[in-house]
Amino acid sequence: MSLTHEELRKKFKSFWEKRGHKEVPPTQLVPQNDPTTLFTGSGMQQFVPNLLGEPHPLGTKLFNVQHCIRVQDIEEVGDNRHDTFFEMMGNWSLGDYFKKEQLNYFFTFLTDKDGGLGLEPKRLYVTAFEGNDHIPQDKESIEVWQEIFKGVGIEAKIGERIFLYDATKNWWSRAGVPENMPPGEPGGPDSEVFYQFDVPHDPRYGKDCHPNCNCGRFLEIGNSVFMEYKKLPDSTFEELPKKNVDFGGGLERFLAAAQNDPDIFKTDVFNDIVRRIELVTTASYSDPKNQSSIRIIADHIKTAVFIIKNGVFPSNKEHGYVLRRLLRRALLKLRSLKKDFKSEDVSVIARSVLSTYGGIYFDISNDESKVTVVVDEEMKKFEKSISTGMKLIEKMQSVDAKAAFDLYQTYGFPLELTEEILKERGHKIDRKAFYEEFNKHKELSRSSSAGKFKGGLADHSEQVIKYHTATHLLHQALFDVLGNDVKQAGSNITGERLRFDFSNSFTPTDEEIKKVEKIINEKINKALPVNFKIMPKSKADKVGARSFFKEKYGEQVKVYYIGETEKNIKDAYSKEFCGGPHVKNTKEISKLKIDKFKKIGSNLYRIYAI
């Protein structure tokens, strides 16, 4: 029996707890305050302020398991290792230990038979940064790795066991290579560990195999980033005041290595889902011709279920658009395996996602109906557009790229289906011409979300920090004016404006909104100091600090407060659970203007301020 995901979670937790690390709860899948990305895509996203120097309430040694979605990988799903939903297991040192300890810890986790995964050291290959004109070669990591391998009787030569790569492979920042990093962004060289499977090298990928070769023999299972640099406005780098470790490794890939089979769809976070698909379609996963479709269905329905759980509905915009695309793509693949599938078939598969992650992410009795209702409705809509499209196509003499695009645009009729029908008639669609049409009419919604697929680059500029503090003032001022019914529903800050959503039992009048604005500016003009205290969660609740109900908090929390005196948190004007950062004094904000106020749902309101 190979390692189960539940066992892996337990091992990971106790490994880091034994080494003095505190567990940080995962952040939401749909991030707050990060307009650059639709979904949380890495474990480190919530720690960016901490990597730049903000203290973390749980200390300097942390670990967590973060559920992530990377939709930019959607086209790659279908092989044995790509998925759009995954969990990243991470550990962090915030100016505490550095390279030597980190690489030793991770190696121990991978190879230790009791506390770790018990992987064979000879199957592990590692990489390090080769250096460039600005940043030196990561000699320290090379030396540490040589030492570690020596300890298990392996001579680790460069080019054999340790491989050096340039910044495209061995540098990590949220923006990628150093040239792409905006000023203020942290980054650094990284060292990856790869697991070698018993898969022969495929020469189609190049003459020689090496860890970053894509033939499937090597799988990256963990990445230790040494966050030691910050990009400056003149494009050079300065060393961060504290050197940090940011480690992330995929839970699914750890499981694949532990079972010594590279196919993540054979691990137990996919087993039941794949089995369900086999039952529903009667297509067997062991038949190679079905594998790509089954993987796409399994991955997409899983991701869709997690998105729905986060309160998103299918739509033509942003998160909803991604959800729709995933469900419809899964459905088309299902259809290719079983012509007469029913919408209930999809719900059956969705249910297996819930049971796989049962006690971890879902409360089955509550979530099951929520998820299946959304899936069912979307499937019915799609079935309808398919049957309308079918009728139209049947009447058409010929279908060119423009007609295919119109079918897609007007009826949501997918290109894949048009192609399938035309194939039966012995015709073909000019795909290039179709995509030209597509680009001409690029749906606004899609293009506006497209840039966000990469994302996770929340801006930490001064203006953003000012808006962040202003958001706290706005939150409290709403309570002052409207009373205790106000509930924050979300906030979103860019360098240009702040946006704040809240619910309230009645519609505020224009005068009330004016009053809110007046209070905020009074507080700004009073030049109030902004401070934080780290305290147990229970105490924070006691002093009346406001928390955001959608977020999970650790035992120790950080409370930012704005008030007359620095010492007295209890009587402070505003107090909120918050990771920061903030301005030091409200006078730095200068002025805040409520630019727009509108109703966005029943009892739901939105404010834009500049």
Task: Note the residues at the interface with ligand SER (CB under 6 A).
Answer: 42-44, 90, 172, 223, 225, 246-248
| 473, 520 contact by CB (below 8 A) | yes
CB of 68 to ligand SER, least distance (A): 9
Structure tokens, 388: 């309308």
| 458, 469 contact by CB (below 8 A) | no
**Residue closer to ligand SER (CB basis): 222 or 581:** 222
C-alpha–C-alpha distance, residues 221 and 195, integer Å: 7
**Residue closer to ligand SER (CB basis): 94 or 331:** 94
Angle at 439 between CA 437 and CA 442, to 5 degrees: 105
**Residue closer to ligand SER (CB basis): 90 or 581:** 90
**Position with the least CB separation from ligand SER:** 248
CA distances from 327 to 271, 331, 349, 388, 565 (A): 20, 6, 12, 19, 54
C-alpha–C-alpha distance, residues 521 and 470, integer Å: 9
C-alpha–C-alpha distance, residues 358 and 381, integer Å: 28
| 487, 549 contact by CB (below 8 A) | yes
Burial of 289 (0-12, 13-18, 19+ CB in 10 A): exposed
**Residue closer to ligand SER (CB basis): 41 or 563:** 41
**Residue closer to ligand SER (CB basis): 178 or 389:** 178
C-alpha–C-alpha distance, residues 44 and 63, integer Å: 10
CB of 92 to ligand SER, least distance (A): 8
CB of 221 to ligand SER, least distance (A): 11
**Residue closer to ligand SER (CB basis): 68 or 371:** 68
Hunting for tokens 């590692």 — which residue is that?
A: 126
CB of 79 to ligand SER, least distance (A): 19
CB of 6 to ligand SER, least distance (A): 22
CB of 46 to ligand SER, least distance (A): 11
Hunting for tokens 């015709």 — which residue is that?
A: 427
| 188, 199 contact by CB (below 8 A) | no
C-alpha–C-alpha distance, residues 250 and 189, integer Å: 19
Query: What are the b/e assignments for 338-353, b being 16+ CB within 10 Å?
Result: eeebebebbbebbbbb
| 97, 106 contact by CB (below 8 A) | no
CB of 94 to ligand SER, least distance (A): 13
**Residue closer to ligand SER (CB basis): 228 or 345:** 228
- Under 8 Å CB-to-CB from 521, ≥6 apart: which residues? 591, 592
**Residue closer to ligand SER (CB basis): 226 or 306:** 226
CB of 172 to ligand SER, least distance (A): 5
**Residue closer to ligand SER (CB basis): 49 or 90:** 90
Farthest CA pair distance, the chain: 80
CB of 214 to ligand SER, least distance (A): 18
Ramachandran region of residue 181, left (φ > 0), alpha (ψ -120 to 50) or beta? beta
CB of 25 to ligand SER, least distance (A): 17
**Residue closer to ligand SER (CB basis): 252 or 378:** 252
C-alpha–C-alpha distance, residues 170 and 176, integer Å: 10
| 228, 240 contact by CB (below 8 A) | yes
CB of 126 to ligand SER, least distance (A): 15
DSSP letter string, 261-328: ---GGGSTTTHHHHHHHHHHH---TTSHHHHHHHHHHHHHHHHHHHHHHTT----SSHHHHHHHHHHH
My answer on whether omega of the bond before 581 falls inside 30° of 0, hence cis, is yes
**Residue closer to ligand SER (CB basis): 44 or 110:** 44
**Residue closer to ligand SER (CB basis): 193 or 607:** 193
CB of 149 to ligand SER, least distance (A): 22
C-alpha–C-alpha distance, residues 294 and 286, integer Å: 10
Axis crossing angle, helix 318-337 with helix 364-395, rounded to the nearest 10: 70
CB of 102 to ligand SER, least distance (A): 11
| 93, 60 contact by CB (below 8 A) | yes
**Residue closer to ligand SER (CB basis): 42 or 336:** 42
**Residue closer to ligand SER (CB basis): 106 or 163:** 106
Cβ atoms within 10 Å, residue 95: 17
C-alpha–C-alpha distance, residues 566 and 529, integer Å: 7
**Residue closer to ligand SER (CB basis): 186 or 216:** 186
Strand arrangement, sheet containing 530-536: 530-536, 556-562, 574-577
Burial of 369 (0-12, 13-18, 19+ CB in 10 A): exposed
CB of 62 to ligand SER, least distance (A): 12
